[in-house]
Amino acid sequence: MKKIIIGMLVMAVSLFLLLSYFVEDVQINKYKDMAIVQEEQTIEHGWIPGILPKSAYDIVETHNIDTNTVFGTFKYKEHDEVSFMQHLTDLNDDNQTMQWGRFLFRVNKEENYVKFRNKTNKGQ
C-alpha cells in the first residue's frame, strides 16, 4: 500500500513539474481607459508604453512573464493623434512599423487603432 501511495505522489509531482515547464505564464488584461491603467501601475511594470495618449481606451495588453513578451492594442480619440505620433520614430520598413523606446507600434489612423509589442532581447 505504501508503494502505491509513494508511486502516486511521485506521479503527481512529476506531472506538476512537466506541466509547469510546458505551460507558459500568460496574463491578459483589459482596461477601459488610461485612468485605470495608471491606477493599476501597468506602465511601471513595463506592460504598457508610457506614451499612450490621454484619450486611449479599450486598452488590452497580454504579457508572458516567462518570455518577457508584451502585446497590446488600444483605441484613441483623433484629437490626440498628432501629439501621440510625434513620439514615434518611423522604422521605414515594409510593415510601417514605428518605435518608441523598447516598444514597436503599428498605427491605423483611419480607425484610430494601435497595435504594440515590446522588443525582446531576440528582436533587438
pLDDT tens per residue across span 104-122: 999 999 999 999 999 876 5
pLDDT of residue 54: 94
Q: What is the mean pLDDT of the chain?
A: 86
Q: What residue ranges do the domains of the chain occupy?
A: 25-118
Grid coordinates in use for 73?
Answer: 492594442
Contacts of residue 61, defined as CB under 8 A and 6 or more positions apart, other chains included, come to 28, 29, 31, 42, 47, 48, 70, 71, 72
> For the whole prediction, is pTM greater than 0.85?
no
pLDDT at residue 62 tops 60: yes
- Percentage of the chain beyond pLDDT 70 is 89
Confidence class for position 68, pLDDT limits 50, 70, 90: confident
